Amino acid sequence: MADTTATASTETVAQTDDGIRRRDFLDIAAIGAAGVGGVFIVYPLVSQMAPSKDVLAASSTEVDVSSIEPGQAIKAVFRKQPLFVKRLTDAEIAAANATATGSLRDPQSLEDRTKEGHRDILVTMGVCTHLGCVPLGAAEGEVKGEYGGYFCPCHGSHYDTAGRIRKGPAPTNLEVPEYEFTSDTVIQVG
């Protein structure tokens, strides 16, 4: 404030007020800048924990479904998690359609869970929606549970032929990931 001494005394009061305000403003601005700086520091610290580029890059998978016989399933890997692709038999489709959707814990019909024109191809994550175990029932000779679909050995969740939760602790149906048929026999997941 070198100029204060050079001005008339009548202006001193106003100047002082102005000075105080300016100082307050400077203090607030400085603290504010520190706060903004803090956010700048916190943001990368938090976001470094999110999936890295290589993990995200491996986030889509193609599966050829032509070799799956009715009643059989294959296990693929999608985002390092198991993916079940199953070709349903007519009996399994009938069993899934015979169940009243309204009575289910997570009401979905087989229609909701498969693609138009490929009603017999059921694509689900092989991850139990309870606590993330891999259900049995995809490989030959595995237990399929009381509803003929999948059975999670961890806490006893039973899924039906459409991969819907019917009994046990899991809250929702086996997740159907986003996928599309890129040709008649190939699906792209993710």
Residues that bind another protein (CB under 8 A): 49-52, 55, 59, 75, 77, 79-82, 105, 130-134, 139-141, 146, 152-156, 169-171
Least spacing, CB of residue 137 vs another protein, in Å: 12
Q: Which is nearer to another protein, 22 or 105 (CB)?
A: 105
Residue 113 or 130 with smaller CB distance to another protein:
130
Q: Give 123's strand partners.
A: 85
Question: Judged by CB, which is closer to another protein: 23, or 75?
Answer: 75
Q: How many helices (H) and strands (E) does the chain have?
A: 4, 9
Distance, CA of 172 to CA of 177 (rounded, Å)? 14
Q: Which two tokens stand for residue 79?
A: 């985002």
Please pick, among 118, 130, 155, 158, the residue that the annotation labels catalytic: 155
- Within 10 angstroms of residue 82's Cβ, the number of other Cβ atoms is 15
158 catalytically annotated: no
Distance in Å, CB of 177 to another protein, minimum:
11
Three state DSSP letters for 64-82: ECCCCCCCCEEEEEECCEE
The nearest distance, CB 157 to another protein, in angstroms, is 10
**Separation between Cα atoms, residue 107 and residue 85, nearest integer Å:** 21
Neighbours of 73 (CB within 10 A): 21
Q: Please report how close the Cβ of residue 145 comes to another protein at its closest, in angstroms.
A: 9
CB 119 within 8 A of CB 110: yes
By C-beta, is 118 or 167 nearer to another protein? 167
Catalytic (active-site) positions? 155
